[in-house]
């Protein structure tokens, strides 16, 4: 495919706008439609980014002439059904993490991708962050092997607000969203399947209906272990912090920044063409479309993560 790839964005919230910013930096890609829940806000985003079509109906967008692909940054509960809807319409699709909020729905998406042969990718951004790519390159070169990962995913969300401090129309989830990042990354970096997984959670929030605190333990077939702590109650430094403990070094990853175990900053600016993990994720999606290949973090490639999440949910139930 040498022509301009025409893409639509569904979900003009905090994360959707990050994709629009990324698309502007990628040659040969044009966003032609934005789909949102509220028409006035969707039209405002379309004007800001120079997009000619705005709607509240994904089906309307899927009928646009020349549309090649869709990026879904919609609420978690809509991911699987909308991914299948896009594939059935003959469009390549990148769906933000998580692929689904149940194993059954994740498997249905993979089955539809296999049926259509289209590119279907899930936004497991940690695979693309330069910090984690740096560690990955050392692993692949045989210079570093993971013995343990210690991960903290901390937010302060005692009310239903998004990353921009705006009210959400849906409820986020520690297990099916935030734990998915680490469960996938751990197996990916250890290069070994997860064979043991344990979880405990704190009290259920009386109005949000979700656990606000959770602890997860993982072990791979190779023997590497991972401890993951998650909280929506943390009133302090926010975000996800990864400590890689290995046979030859210790690394601490804070989003796109990387440090040694002694907190010495490592220059990862030359690891890839950008320091923006979302942009790199989107570049992989469009490159896979052009080259007719399976992308890194394809829906089939991340399915094992959702099998582990399902096992953890059954423990918690």
Residue 191, C-beta contacts closer than 8 angstroms, at least 6 positions apart: 139, 222
- Position 131 pLDDT exceeds 70: yes
Cα dihedral across residues 18, 7, 104, 218: positive or negative: negative
Residue 70 in any domain: the answer is yes
Mean pLDDT of 104-122: 98
Residue 314 in any domain: the answer is no
Is 287 found in the same domain as 250?
no
Residue 304 in any domain: the answer is no
Residue 121 in any domain: the answer is yes
Is 281 found in the same domain as 230?
no
Is 158 found in the same domain as 244?
yes
Quote the domain boundaries for residue 186: 129-271
How far is 299 from 296, CA to CA, in rounded Å? 9
Domain CATH number, residue 264? 3.30.360.10
Q: Give 220-254 as a DSSP string.
A: ETTS-EEEEEEESB--SS-EEEEEEEESS-EEEEE
- Position 170 pLDDT exceeds 90: no
Residue 147 in any domain: the answer is yes
User: Is the separation of the CB atoms in 303 and 113 below 8 Å?
Assistant: no
Is 79 found in the same domain as 153?
no
Residue 240 in any domain: the answer is yes
Residue 222 in any domain: the answer is yes
- Reported as a single tens digit per residue, the pLDDT across 56-81 is 999 999 999 999 999 999 999 999 99
- Position 14 pLDDT exceeds 70: yes
- Position 162 pLDDT exceeds 80: no
- Higher-pLDDT residue of 98 and 160 is 98
Q: What six digits make up the tokens of 312?
A: 């953890």
Using alpha carbons, select from 19, 248, 303, 279 the residue that is nearest to residue 129. Answer: 279
- Higher-pLDDT residue of 296 and 207 is 296
Is 31 found in the same domain as 149?
no
Q: Count of domains in the chain?
A: 2
Is 242 found in the same domain as 194?
yes
Task: Name the strand (E) or helix (H) holding 281.
Answer: helix 277-291
- Position 33 pLDDT exceeds 80: yes
Q: What six digits make up the tokens of 82?
A: 């909308």
The position carrying tokens 């600016």 is 269
Domain CATH number, residue 108? 3.40.50.720
- Reported as a single tens digit per residue, the pLDDT across 232-271 is 999 988 889 999 999 999 999 987 899 999 999 999 999 9
Percent of the chain with pLDDT over 70: 95
Residue 246 in any domain: the answer is yes
- Position 91 pLDDT exceeds 80: yes
Predicted confidence band at 17 (pLDDT cuts at 50, 70, 90)? very high
Q: What pTM was estimated for this model as a whole?
A: 0.94
Cα–Cα–Cα angle for 205, 255, 279, nearest 5°?
110
Is 233 found in the same domain as 215?
yes
Q: Do the strands 239-246 and 250-254 form a parallel or antiparallel pair, or are they unpaired?
A: antiparallel
Q: In the listed set 234, 254, 271, which residue is the last one of a domain according to the structure?
A: 271
**Count of Cβ atoms closer than 10 Å to residue 140 Cβ:** 10
Is 200 found in the same domain as 167?
yes
Is 133 found in the same domain as 112?
no
């Amino acid at each position: 495919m040498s022509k301009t790839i025409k893409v639509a964005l569904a979900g003009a919230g905090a994360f959707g706008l990050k994709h629009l910013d990324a698309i502007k930096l990628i040659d040969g890609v044009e966003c032609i439609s934005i789909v949102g829940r509220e028409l006035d806000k969707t039209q405002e985003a379309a004007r800001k980014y120079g997009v000619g079509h705005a709607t509240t109906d994904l089906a309307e967008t899927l009928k646009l002439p020349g549309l090649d692909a869709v990026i879904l940054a919609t609420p978690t509960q809509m991911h699987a059904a909308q991914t299948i809807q896009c594939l059935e319409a003959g469009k390549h699709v990148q769906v933000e993490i998580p692929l689904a909020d149940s194993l059954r729905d994740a498997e249905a998406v993979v089955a539809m991708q296999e049926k259509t042969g289209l590119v279907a990718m899930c936004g497991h951004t940690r695979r693309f962050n330069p910090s984690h790519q740096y560690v990955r390159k050392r692993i692949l070169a045989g210079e570093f092997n993971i013995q343990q990962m210690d991960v903290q995913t901390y937010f302060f969300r005692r009310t239903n607000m998004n990353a921009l401090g705006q009210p959400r129309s849906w409820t986020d989830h520690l297990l099916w969203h935030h734990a998915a990042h680490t469960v996938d990354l751990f197996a990916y970096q250890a290069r070994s399947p997860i064979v043991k997984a344990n979880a405990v959670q704190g009290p259920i929030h009386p109005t949000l209906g979700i656990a606000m605190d959770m602890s997860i333990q993982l072990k791979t077939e190779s023997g590497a272990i991972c401890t993951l702590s998650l909280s929506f109650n943390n009133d302090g430094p926010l975000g996800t912090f990864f400590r890689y403990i290995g046979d030859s070094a210790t690394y601490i990853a804070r989003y796109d920044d990387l440090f040694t175990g002694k907190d010495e900053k490592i220059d990862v600016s030359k690891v890839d063409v950008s320091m923006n993990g979302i942009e790199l994720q989107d570049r992989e999606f469009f490159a896979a479309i052009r080259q007719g290949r399976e992308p890194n973090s394809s829906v089939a490639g991340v399915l094992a993560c959702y099998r582990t999440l399902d096992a953890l949910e059954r423990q918690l139930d």
